[in-house]
Amino acid sequence: MVNRLRIAIAQQNFMVGDIPANVAKVIHTAERARDALQADLVLFPELTLTGYPPEDLLLRPGLQKRVQEGLEMLKSVTGIGMVVGYPEVAGEYQYNSAALIASGGIQAVYRKQHLPNYSVFDEKRYFEPGEGACVFEIKGVKLALSICEDLWQPGVMARAAAAGAQVMLNLNASPFHINKWQEREAAMRARLAEAAMPIVYCNLVGGQDELVFDGQSFVMAADGTVTQRAESCVEGLYVAELESGEQVKPVPATMVEPLPVEAAVYEVLVLGTRDYIEKNGFRGVVIGLSGGIDSALTLAIAVDAIGPERVEGVRMPSRFTADMSLDDAEAEAQALGVECHTIAIEPAFEAFLELLKDEFAGKPWDTTEENIQARCRGIILMAVSNKKRKIVLTTGNKSEMSVGYCTLYGDMAGGYAPIKDVPKTLVYRLAEYRNTISQVIPQRVIDRPPSAELAPDQRDSDSLPPYDILDPILEKYIEADQSIEDIVAQGFDEADVSRVAHLVIRNEYKRRQAPPGVRISRKAFGRDRRYPITSGYK
């Protein structure tokens, strides 16, 4: 006789720290899974009740009290089993746990065994590792629990199989980086070599400061075939059906194909920006529009995130601003339906030069005067932000941030940096991708040589190697941690590589003062890459 077990995969967006709201969302989702989808069980992501990552909130005694209150509320849900993640305190230890809640109580608890402590993860700061398998039975099918990193490492799958498991349920908070979906599915296939059983993989979705969780939950058969895959960057409730006969097999269902890189990254930038704005309660955003490609892309991201009526652009021309830059900024705002104002910085710039004339006497024009212009703009944007309760989105990219081609308290001033982890060459590709949806970035902005327009006839290439040379060097030096010698051996000019490495090291102090921004790479500045500011390392 063939039975069917219906598991609802709750790919949901939870708010870190807001346990009452998260509990209410779990209850609503579980009731919908029971009533509308006739599910037997609903599987939620890792640390469902607290959101992920809760960081040092886990050290506050009051958090655990709210978690316990939330678990008690969940026991009132009837007619469906729920697997929820939560921080469990047992004696003097805290665990990253998952509980099966059914029939008015907690029926089983699993404690995460492999605690990641690399890249953006700090779980050993908060949790102790668990041990042993957790297997329970629903409608004759024996299900095991695991949490995220557990299935990136050997052992847990084999122990579950030895305990009689026929299906592995995996709760995840797996953040996005480019092509991460391929790594997840490859990691799950590697575990099938230990124990061949279907895997139901539920991933978190949503933005949390720098991290974006992209969802793309899936079901994998015992032979490694993906039989069902959810959408990226959207919440959803997906039913995975499992047929149990001689073997347990997933029933093929909706298969959403992964997006091309540019589309995937753009979705993540929009989601991360939207959630930072909405979860922090900002009324809207203000962006300095230079007529360049970085501010044009940031404007499009902001509009796609929260709508044009909540986005304001400000043009701030100087004596060096080209007419085409003003025209292009205006065209971008009009194409996206954004209100745009013009505030010239020349009066403020002149006032500062007058104030500083005695200090500057006898000294030639240099980057000091360029930075004063950038800081005039920063003051204007922050004034608009304060008065209108709108957050300033900075427009700097990863290439500039890496080598310090940016001004403290100038173009770095703001609350969030959507493209902070996007190399300049990818900025161009994303702009072209966004124009395939609707033409919002003038082609001239994409084609013209980039310039800060802080000095006569200025070009980025006056100060930096061309971006098609700079970005590969940065990727190898920052993300792959390759040495200068290793990079030069791959055909790059030694003078370029040495100069770039020097600039990266020298500008750590600037990056430490930069606003947070969406992480899309394997190693973003901030949580990923923690280098000392003061260092004698060469």
Which sequence positions are flagged as catalytic? 46, 112, 148
Do the Cβ atoms of 111 and 96 come closer than 8 Å?
Answer: yes
CB 253 within 8 A of CB 218: no
510 carries a ligand binding annotation: yes
Residue 521 counted as an annotated binding residue: no
Q: Report the candidate in 214, 219, 216 with the shortest Cα–Cα distance to residue 239.
A: 219
155 is in an annotated binding site: no
Question: Is there a binding annotation on residue 164?
Answer: no
Answer yes or no: is 69 a known binding residue.
no
Q: How far apart are CA 224 and CA 434, in angstroms?
A: 34
Provide the strand spans (E) within 69-134: 81-90, 93-102, 105-111
The tokens for 104 are: 């008015």
Residue type present at position 198: P
CA 18-20-24 angle, 5° bins: 115
Q: Any known ligand binding at 180?
A: yes
174 annotated to a ligand binding site: yes
What is the DSSP pairing of strand 167-172 with strand 199-203?
Answer: parallel
Vertex 266 angle, CA 263 and 272, to 5°: 140
Looking at residue 249, its amino acid is K
Q: Binding site annotation covers 414?
A: no
First to last CA, the chain: 69
CA distances from 262 to 179, 195, 246, 401 (A): 11, 36, 44, 21
| Residue 371 labelled as part of a binding site | yes
Alpha-carbon span 381 to 288, nearest angstrom: 7
Round to whole Å and give the CA distance between 402 and 474: 8
Ligand-binding annotation for 79, yes or no, is no
538 annotated ligand binder: no
Instruction: List Cβ neighbours of 378 (8 Å cut-off, separation of 6 or more).
Output: 407, 409, 410, 411, 412, 413
- Which tokens sit at 226? 């993906």
d(CA 452, CA 102): 60
Q: Is 294 annotated as a binding residue?
A: yes
Q: Which residues pair with 81 in a beta bridge?
A: 41
438 carries a ligand binding annotation: no
Query: Which residue ranges are tagged as binding site for ATP?
Result: 288-295, 395
Query: Which residue ranges are tagged as binding site?
Result: 118, 174, 180, 288-295, 371, 395, 400, 510
Query: Which residue ranges are tagged as binding site for deamido-NAD(+)?
Result: 371, 400, 510
Query: Which residue ranges are tagged as binding site for L-glutamine?
Result: 118, 174, 180
